[in-house]
Amino acid sequence: MVSTVEKPAFRAIDITLIGMFSALMAIGANIASWAPFLQIANVPLSMQTFFAILAGILLGSRLGSLAMTVYMLIGIAGAPVFAGFSGGVGVIFSSTGGFILSFIATAYVTGKIIESTVNPKFIHFLAASFAGLFMNYFIGTNYMYLALNVWLDIEMSYGAAWLVMIWFAVKDLIFTVIGAIIAPRIYHAIKRPLVNTNKNVKNPI
């Protein structure tokens, strides 16, 4: 007879990783706040996209997107975790608010691609990372265009909105490639002990 032990919705390690990546997002948002030369048009170059993609790869689509959701909710609640040590629901309605929302989709899509591969190789991590990067800019830039032209009453053409993001995209492309290079080693190091733990879930009686 075999009894199956029900797996909890969240393990201690899951909660720890969610908290860790929420904290990394806050750090990544403000890493350039003390260095003005790392800012373009008063907008800091952040590492949030890098950490959102890494969250999807290492935590998976479910936990990765949840970590990004927790980060967003912490900021909406008023904690100064957004870029420029800002917080509050008003940030979501700013021109860059779409990028905060996009981190959830970024982590989810990245994680889904990795999860769909039995034994992911570098090419899979690279493809997943670029898919996550695409989601980040597609959602964020389109939201910025709508925010400026609809409720912020600032006229900007659609092409200009994408042109503004070029410098940020170059930075994120570099970080995306770096992330795809270092992610496989971390991924397999984390997954190996988790697989061994899961094998012990079913205990023969």
The share of the chain scoring above pLDDT 70, in percent, equals 83
List the beta bridge partners of residue 43.
40
CB burial string 149-182: b at 16+ within 10 A, e below: eeeeeeebeeeebeebbeebbebbeebbeebbee
Reference 46, options 102, 89, 93, 88; nearest CA is 102
- Predicted local distance difference test score (pLDDT) of residue 50: 95
- Predicted local distance difference test score (pLDDT) of residue 1: 45
Is residue 50 one of the residues assigned to a domain?
yes
Is residue 195 one of the residues assigned to a domain?
no
- pLDDT tens-digit profile of 30-42? 887 656 656 665 5
Is residue 98 one of the residues assigned to a domain?
yes
Is residue 1 one of the residues assigned to a domain?
no
Is residue 204 one of the residues assigned to a domain?
no
The two beta strands, 202-204 and 2-4, are antiparallel
Helix (H) or strand (E) holding 199: none
- pLDDT tens-digit profile of 101-152? 999 999 999 999 999 998 899 999 999 999 999 999 999 999 999 999 999 9
Using pLDDT thresholds of 50, 70 and 90, give the confidence band for residue 43.
low
Is residue 95 one of the residues assigned to a domain?
yes
Average pLDDT over all residues of the chain: 87
- Do 103 and 128 meet the contact criterion of CB atoms below 8 Å apart? no
Instruction: Read off the pLDDT of each residue in 173-187 and give the average, rounded to a whole number.
Output: 92
Q: 148 is in which domain, residue-wise?
A: 11-189
Is residue 202 one of the residues assigned to a domain?
no
- Predicted local distance difference test score (pLDDT) of residue 37: 59
In this structure, what CATH number is given to the domain that contains residue 53? 1.10.1760.20
Q: Quick one: residue 78, left, alpha or beta (phi over 0 = left, psi -120 to 50 = alpha)? A: left
Looking at the 3D structure of the chain, how many domains does it have?
A: 1
